[in-house]
Amino acid sequence: MNKIGVIFDLDGVIVDTAKYHFLAWKDLADELGFEFTETHNELLKGVSRVRSLEILLGIGNVELSEAKKQEYLISKNAHYLEYIHKMGPKEILPGASELLDLLDTLGINYVLGSASKNAPLILKQVHLYERFTGIVDGNSVSKAKPNPEVFLIGAKKLKLQPEHCVVFEDAIAGIEAANTANMISIGIGDKNTLSEANFNFNSLTEIPSNFFTRVISEKISNNNEPRLYKTR
């Protein structure tokens, strides 16, 4: 049944590390002397660390030399690593393990497509690393989402054309990247925020057990050109 493949984002889809990113960025903002709130943190979802630092510095109206920026990026990552080294399987989001089980049963391969350079470590911490066919992370790409590079590399790891790939994302930039790559985009989270996705679900627990068979059947009936409609 291996007519399609799946690419998962990590943060907010498979595990909840957003809180640790927030705490690490907040630690950095505290060092720089300004407030960084959870509302501010929403602006950092789905973008690279370098761009995230630029946004954070803009919030605090702080200017730094390139050398200092690199120092603070290293500092932020050190704070973040302290948090994620304490992670375990309990951090896996509801429905994620069950969805991977379903894909295994259907014989559908899946890879990770994440901007995080710590993605392999996180997957190992939650005991999911060995389950993925491949990992595409921040160490593998030169362009951040919404550029589709991370997903296009994921498609190559799946040995599939982009249009045969289903992407699970929780960020606007990720949905835009999937759509640009001509992949099937699944938004996990707020339907209004992720309105450009082909399908929307509040969480992975809402994915119907026949979802992938429907996608495959539709692709076959439409000569491999899926005509997907938003689920609202």
Buried b (16+ CB within 10 A) or exposed e, 164-183: bbbbbbbbbbbbbbbbbbbb
Binding residues: 9-11, 25, 44-49, 52, 76, 114-118, 145, 169-170
Residues serving a catalytic function are: 9, 11
Binding residues for substrate: 9-11, 25, 44-49, 52, 76, 114-118, 145
Compute φ and ψ for 167, nearest 5 degrees: -110, 130
Own/partner long-range contacts of 190-193 (Cβ < 8 Å, ≥24 apart): 191/232
Spatial CA neighbour of 114 closest among 173, 53, 179, 156 = 173
Binding residues for Mg(2+): 9, 11, 169-170
Compute φ and ψ for 165, nearest 5 degrees: -110, 140
Residue 73 to residue 134: CA distance in whole angstroms? 27
